[in-house]
Amino acid sequence: MSTDVPPRRRYVKVRPVEPRDFPGIIALCERTYPGSPPWSASQLSRHLEIFPEGQLVAVDRGQDVVGYAASLIVYWNDYAMDAPWKEFTDGGLFTNHDPVLGRTLYGAEVMVHPEIRGSGIGGKLYEARRALAERLGLLRIRAGARLRGYAKHAERMSAEEYVRRVARGSLRDPTLSFQLNRGFHVLAVVPGYLKYDAESLGWAAVIEWINPAVATAAELAAVPRW
Ligand SMILES: CC(C)(COP(=O)(O)OP(=O)(O)OC[C@H]1O[C@@H](n2cnc3c(N)ncnc32)[C@H](O)[C@@H]1OP(=O)(O)O)[C@@H](O)C(=O)NCCC(=O)NCCS
């Protein structure tokens, strides 16, 4: 991908995933998580069969995939707060998608091409995800935010302390700060979320955005303070 165009001036469009996007999504995964197996075409096509509206890409003018966000609907009571990513996504297959009982849109994946991060593409994917939750009348969006900057601080502080500092703005985490700036708050800090993730050492913050059009006053008041 050329980096001639300054990030701020890049055109991108967010739209639902189509099968022609699969090679681009796989290449993006390989760039984002080198050394980890990327999504396979058969997993991606399963996601499209199960919940097509929940699968989004950001594409540039040439229809190259520069960003990707995958979601499913879960019935939250089926899961422990500290369940790992594998459980929330049924090992990445999304066969646990439950649009009947579920009121929670679960953010299973979000990634932007490393060369053009910081140009608003992640924000656009998050806006589209929020619009989806609103359109479907869901109560909330939840996700595990892997604590990408934590390994560098792990000798000096616990993961909880790290999250507290990120939430208060005295530290910046490349993922969690982005999410907190988009209306999410932290519910819990959990170990073992992505077991082999060296940057987070497996730690994640369970994060939530509440749909104010659907939430009760009690649900809105229950938002924890970090
Ligand atoms: C998290 C992620 C999707 C954000 O995507 P993005 O396109 O960089 O997001 P945006 O440009 O909309 O916002 C990034 C924020 O970082 C700031 N930023 C500035 N320069 C930046 C840079 N060079 N790189 C990244 N972010 C930068 C932006 O100004 C923005 O700040 P804000 O939150 O105060 O608005 C992206 O960093 C990513 O793909 N990370 C790797 C995968 C990952 O960890 N996913 C999350 C799994 S839980």
What DSSP line would sit under 22-70, residue for residue?
Answer: HHHHHHHHHHHSTTSPPPPHHHHHHHHHH-GGGEEEEE-TT--EEEEEE
- For the segment 51-76, the average pLDDT, to the nearest whole number, is 97
Domain boundary among 76, 103, 138: 138
Alpha carbon of 60 to ligand 1 centroid (Å) = 17
**Judging by DSSP bridges, how do beta strands 104-112 and 140-146 pair with one another?**
parallel
By the 8 A CB rule, do 171 and 165 touch? yes
- If asked whether residues 17 and 88 sit together in one domain, one would say yes
- If asked whether residues 120 and 67 sit together in one domain, one would say yes
Alpha carbon of 101 to ligand 1 centroid (Å) = 32
- If asked whether residues 222 and 196 sit together in one domain, one would say yes
- If asked whether residues 224 and 158 sit together in one domain, one would say yes
Quote the CA–CA distance of 17 and 107 in Å, as a whole number: 15
Q: Which two tokens stand for residue 219?
A: 């649900």
pLDDT of 170 over the 60 cut: yes
Atom of ligand 1 nearest to the CA of 107: 48
Say how many CA atoms lie within 13 Å of 186 toward its Cβ. Answer: 25
Range of the domain at 209: 147-226
pLDDT of 7 over the 80 cut: no
Closest CA to 121 of 72, 59, 171: 59
pLDDT of 103 over the 90 cut: yes
Question: How confident is residue 195, by pLDDT bands cut at 50, 70 and 90?
Answer: confident
